[in-house]
Amino acid sequence: MIEVVEGDITQLQVDAVVNAANDRLAGGGGVDGAIHRAAGATELHAACRAIGGCPTGEVRLTPGFRLPARAILHAVGPVWRGGGQGEDELLARCYRNAMALAAAEGFRSLAFPAISCGVYGFPRERAVPIAVREVRAALARPTPVERVIFCCFDGAMAALYRAELGLPVTSPP
């Protein structure tokens, strides 16, 4: 039910990919930039502009356009400010809200990047247990979602997820 994949999230054949967006849904670097390029920047920018923005911790839906995925769930993770500004709960909400929106849309498979763990500076050792806890909790309830992929851009991140999930760690941390 939960898999760890090392690679580019834009290539995955899933019902929906989650984007690590900003609160203006304005596009940017990192996974957001990769998703915009692969989906078709013009179409995706227009769809995001029509939505307007998205508060931190919340999630908005657009089509996947040219991605293999049907849909994009744009999640706005918190900027890391030392851990005392509610960052853990805001990150948890991203995973919770993405799982809830995927369920409401009837999606069966989705893939997450490590939200907030790039430009936004959230410590990965702290983010991974939050992501795993929230996805497990959502899958424990009735849901059409039957496959969740944690898509990691590097082997060290994949090793962290595998360790947290109790999966064999195949690549060195």
Classify burial at 1, counting beta carbons within 10 Å of its beta carbon; exposed 0-12, middle 13-18, buried 19 or more. exposed
Which CB, 118 or 155, lies closer to ligand AR6? 118
Which CB, 19 or 103, lies closer to ligand AR6? 19
Find the catalytic residue in 8, 15, 23, 32.
32
Give the number of residues written for the chain. Answer: 173
Residues 93-132 that bind ligand AR6 (CB under 6 A): 113-120
Which CB, 29 or 68, lies closer to ligand AR6? 29
Token pair 């939050």 is found at: 130
Classify burial at 136, counting beta carbons within 10 Å of its beta carbon; exposed 0-12, middle 13-18, buried 19 or more. middle
Could you say which of 14, 16, 20, 148 contacts ligand AR6 (CB under 6 A)? 20
32 as an active site residue: the answer is yes
Which CB, 63 or 155, lies closer to ligand AR6? 155
- Exposure string for 76-85, b = 16+ CB within 10 A, e = fewer: bbbbbeeeee
> Of 22-30, 40-48, 60-68, 135-143, which segment contacts ligand AR6 by CB under 6 A?
22-30
Q: How many CB atoms are closer than 10 A to CB 147? A: 15
Using rule CB under 6 A, residue 53 touches ligand AR6 = no
Question: What are the angstrom distances between the C-alpha of 29 and each of 110, 111, 158, 162?
Answer: 21, 19, 21, 26
Using rule CB under 6 A, residue 62 touches ligand AR6 = no
Could you say which of 107, 150, 153, 161 contacts ligand AR6 (CB under 6 A)? 153
Size of the site for ligand AR6 (CB under 6 A): 24
Looking at the DSSP bridge assignments, the partners of residue 19 are: 74
Token pair 């500076």 is found at: 121
CB of 123 to ligand AR6, least distance (A): 11
Active site residues: 32
Residues binding ligand AR6 (CB under 6 A): 8-10, 20-22, 28-32, 34, 77, 113-120, 151, 153, 157
